[in-house]
Amino acid sequence: MLLIALTGMVQVLTEHWRQGSALLGGSLLVAAVLRGVLPPQRAGLLAIRGRVVDVICYTGFGIAVLLLALTITRGSLTVG
């Protein structure tokens, strides 16, 4: 999961916004699955609150980031 997020950040930093954002959203969805299936002792830093709350938050944020990635149409960010 961390490798997916790191790859997404590298994509964003190299101006591949859509691919990088999609990878970041995907890593949040992977985190949701891992939080749902791993026992509390193995969840580590994925366990912030209760299991249900964590899975809902990770899933919601992952879907939101993926939907935002679909709306990115330009190759680079410009001001003005």
Residue 78 reports pLDDT greater than 70: no
Q: Return d(Cα 21, Cα 63) in angstroms, integer.
A: 11
- Tell me the C-alpha to C-alpha distance, in Å, between residue 80 and each of 13, 65, 77: 20, 24, 10
Tens digit of each residue's pLDDT (9 = 90 or more) over 10-26: 998 988 888 999 999 99
How far is C-alpha 59 from the chain's CA centre?
9
pTM for this prediction = 0.84
- Count the alpha carbons within 13 Å of 21 in the hemisphere toward its beta carbon: 18
Query: Of all helices (H) and strands (E), which one includes residue 78?
Result: none
